[in-house]
Structure 1
Amino acid sequence: MPQLNPAPWLAILLFSWFIFLAIIPQKISVYLFPNNPTPQSTRTTDMTPWNWPWQ
């Protein structure tokens, strides 16, 4: 039965895991975001309780 022959599938499995673990993380870690987030103001908003009319 050809399904039990591990020769081509084992090589494909190992090669694909090599790509996922060695090449792709390096490409992702080099990526720079085009828009760096700017810090928001540190002013806190006024949190007033809301009295519900039906309770």
Structure 2
Amino acid sequence: MPQLNPSPWFAILIFSWLVLLTLVVPKVLSHSFPNEPASQSSQAPKTDSWSWPWA
């Protein structure tokens, strides 16, 4: 049964992981986001009471 011979499939698996780790991962990690998240202030925002126009 030729599908039980692991040598060609193991080589393909190792080679594909090698390509993934050397080419794809650094490209993804070097991506910069245009909008960096801003740090939130420690003060709570000032909220005004709602003036209902019909009340």
Question: By the TM > 0.5 criterion, same fold?
Answer: yes
Give the structure-2-normalised TM-score.
0.58
- The CA deviation string for residues 1-55 of structure 1, in whole angstroms up to 9 with x for no partner, is 111223321221111110232222211111001211122222046xxxxxxxxxx
Which runs of structure 1 show a deviation greater than 6 angstroms over 4 or more consecutive aligned residues?
A: none
Which structure 1 residue ranges, 5 or more long, are not aligned?
46-55
Coordinate RMSD, CA, aligned: 1.9
Distance 1:42 1:4 in 2: 62
Distance 1:8 1:37 in 2: 46
Q: What is residue 24 of structure 1 aligned with on the other side? A: 24
Give the structure-1-normalised TM-score.
0.58
How many residue pairs match? The answer is 45
Q: Percent identity?
A: 49
